[in-house]
Amino acid sequence: MRLTRTHRSADSLVRAFQTPLPDSRTRLSALRRRSAFTLVEIAISMAIIGFAVVAIIGVLPLGLNVQKDNREETIINNEANFFMDAIRSGARGLDDLTNHVYAITNFWTKYNTTTDPWTPINSGGDGFVYTDSDVNSFPAKPFWPITNGAAIVGVLSTPKFTGNQSNYVVAYTYAMSGSAGEQLPQTQANIQNFAFAHRMIVEIYPVPNADANSPSGGKLVNNLHEVRLTFRWPLYANGKSGSGRQTYRTIAGGRLLPAPPPSPPLHWFFHPEQYSQAQ
């Protein structure tokens, strides 16, 4: 018997109702299979994660270095302001400097001023620490340790030129600001070795004047000096300094004179309240 279209549709509907429906676990499994990531999507995700990790690893050290450099520059700025004020004011009571300035050197050269140009006669170095000194610019090799603030400021205030002698004064110091654990008096040598230290070069010049023979020009030459502090940091255990470098300059008014006895003649101090007439 030939079935019509109506009979075939009814027969299909009956067979559909007779087919058992899948249980809930089967439907969930099919759903999971349809919603999973493909291999291409996983590969793209891993590539993005890898790129982010590489970027973080590459940028993070730069950020840490910038933070370290900013911290060190801030410390150096504080040091420069302190030492500049101490030198140009002729301070003598800053005894806490003995906890920070642990050595000062002066490399000097003496010249024969009767020749043109001047010719070196002798050269050497003077060294000062808290417990000892090695002074070679005097025949008797006196004992002048830097045991107080006046001795430290006095040596740091040495002019660039004293008579026929040129001076190159360098101070080795621990930072006066920064981490409290690094501040002296610190008895642990390991902490002292890792403390932030720097080298400070002190140069004091008379201010040049084109007309030094005039009354006004002579007064400027005798009573006005340029104080220049050059910092090199960080200072390593072998005595060498890192790549940090900064120079500070200011003008100091008043007379620059050696300390009277019984102070050592190598100690110099500014006297802002005193001014000399043109010679």
* 3-class secondary structure per residue, 179-196: CHHHCCCCCCHHHHHHCC
- Please report, in angstroms and rounded to a whole number, the separation of the first and last CA atoms in the chain: 144
Kindly give the parts of the chain with pLDDT less than 50.
1, 3, 13-14, 17
Which tokens hold the place of 187? 């008895």
Nearest residue to 172 via CA among 142, 192, 143, 144: 192
Nearest residue to 168 via CA among 196, 140, 127: 127
What sign for the dihedral angle of Cα 35, 36, 39, 43? positive
Nearest residue to 215 via CA among 276, 169, 161: 276
3-state secondary structure of 97: helix
According to the model, what pLDDT value does residue 13 have?
Answer: 46
According to the model, what pLDDT value does residue 223 have?
Answer: 86
Q: pLDDT (tens digit, 9 = 90+) per residue, 87-134?
A: 999 999 999 999 899 999 999 999 998 888 889 999 999 999 999 999
Residues 155, 153: Cα–Cα separation, whole Å: 6
Residues β-bridged to residue 241: 235
Confirm if 135 and 144 have CB atoms less than 8 A apart.
Answer: yes
Residues 162, 165: Cα–Cα separation, whole Å: 5
Which tokens hold the place of 71? 């911290």
Q: pLDDT (tens digit, 9 = 90+) per residue, 198-231?
A: 999 999 998 876 566 676 666 777 788 999 999 9
Which tokens hold the place of 223? 């009573």
According to the model, what pLDDT value does residue 104 have?
Answer: 98
109-115: list long-range contacts, CB under 8 Å, 24+ apart. 109/165, 109/166, 110/164, 110/165, 111/164, 111/165, 111/166, 112/164, 113/164
